[in-house]
Structure 1
Amino acid sequence: MSERRPPRSRAVLSFLGDSRSRAAAATTAAPPSGRDVDRALTDCAVYEGGERQGGQVPLEEALQRARGCSDGFVWIGLHDPEPQAVELVGQFFGLHPLAVEDAIHAHQRPKLERHEDLLFLVLKTARYVDAEELVDIGELLLFLGDRFLVTIRHGEARPLAELRRRLEDDHDRLARGPGAVFHAIIDAVVDDYADVLDGLTNDVDEIEAAVFSDVRSNPTERIYRLKREVLQFKRAVTPFVHPLTRLVEDEELPVPDRARPYLRDVLDHLVRDAEGVTSIDELLNGVLDANLAQMSVRQNDDMRKISAWVAIAALPTMVFGLYGMNFEHMPELKWDLGYPAVLVLTALACLLLHRRLRRAGWL
């Protein structure tokens, strides 16, 4: 079900204007302030020549310092920010109001938008909680400019602190600018998809083994729960193929040429993951059908066994019921061996019937 787009706030509408006025505002606007930004800010750093310049830089100094460097850029990270924090950061960096609106409301489909010299990318993060057989889906929004990268993360999946530390140890990669960080983040998210696929595949294998094992069990509920997680993961992975394909193939997008081969490699992995989650979804459908068929076969076997034992029990019931009618003229009533003879003959008949039903596969 598609979500209805909420009405734009006055603060967002107030950002409308041409790109030059917004770019000028990025250098002259009053610095963002307030507890909302400080609470959501995970890190803010300026990089020049592949090295971090000092520690965490105050937001009001970040862009000015980056513009003062010959090849520097600023990377700002926000986690679950309040709308006011997103609006302030958007105003400070001259972000497009439509992109700011999407970042405020979140819960967007994976997509790529270009606002003049700014790229706005929405992608879903994922991690697999094996103990609960749960796919934890988050959201990551990336704003890529010439001298800055803003990352807004919603949810707990894919923290970027460890990735930032690894990149800071790779000075050559950071020296390539914010585009290299942009690629590294996408690559890390797609790598997480592969880990989720591995976890889902293991659980599907366990369910298959349970369905076709001799131990009687009913994993239908587990299959439905896992299928729901697979569908949720599929909605995160499959729509991301198109935006990433645009990043690779659209030469008009402001993506560094030397970054395209690396993005193409990430695209190959993403396509493989999309095919993998589709295969798992189809496999779960097959497992569910097999489980239902298996349950039907077992029920039929149970009914045949019950019917076979009823038939065996019917024979002595008929014989003993006949003798219970107290007839006076029955040949064997006055025969000394009549009683044991009837018992033996009845038992032999039951044994013969049991053997016949067993050969027929009913027992």
Structure 2
Amino acid sequence: MSSLNTNIAAMTALQTLAQTNKEMLVTQNRVSTGLKVRDASDNAAYWSIATTMRSDRAAVSTVEDALGLGAATIEVAVTAMNSAIETVTKIKAKLVAARAPGLDRGKIQSELAELQAELRNTAGSAVFSGENWLQVDSTGPTLKTIVASFSRDSTGNITIGTIEVDIGATGTMLFDIGGTNPASATGILDTVTDYVLASGTKSYSVAGVGTGIDISEITDDPTDLLALEAMVDAVDAALDRMTDAATLLGAAKSRISLQKDFVNKLMDSIDIGIGQLVDADMNEESTRLQALQVRQQLGVQALGIANQSAQQILRLFQG
């Protein structure tokens, strides 16, 4: 039946065209943004998961920055520690040379004084971002932590992992700047030791300010020579402790390097996971867009044909 009041064909064509335009708008948005889930209205569950993952990814990126800062701090400490070890090795060699009888130990002492000053300069300049792990205040915190990981468990609880480095007397501290009494210093190089000389008992440290090892008073007296040998033993013991400290720093540096590699891979994995949830398949969307464009054109033509039915009814009344 043909009706002037109700054009069923046109109504059907219009509804189909409107649906096609709606689908085309969705596809065009996906093509232009590259996302199939842009907000919660597209897919609430996927959008919620992706939003949380993006937030966690930003936190992991901050962890990467913290690891970089920690690695730089340790690198400075390692460089200074290795330099200090070389200097202490030279001090040990000078002391061994001073054991030979008849030498002018005053001249050797002048060389030792320069080496001891170099030790203090080395430790004092081992600073990065305001942190010095070789010249330490023993009255303050002596355990440094580096943020190393960020994780969220299945219940949503967050855990922040750290790498700890001991910069105290049992760790990397070469000089103790926490006290006013040099005799109570606990650093590897400024710990004071008593030596019995022929002229009396003297207190020295490997490189402490004002109390550094002094061989200018050493004579060929057997008591003095025994004290000199004890000084060599003290320097050798300091070298052993410095080697342990360098090993501690090296282990921390290696762990940070491994953790940085893991964090980089973790961020890539998170990006891939987010993409699986919200990214549009551009091959699929481009194919769909072409199909919708054809459907749109056909819909327009169908609507035009349907609108011509009224003109056909008018011809029936023309003579």
Structure 1 length as normaliser, TM-score? 0.27
In the superposition, the TM-score normalised over structure 2's length comes to: 0.30
Which has the higher Rg, Structure 1 or Structure 2?
Answer: 2
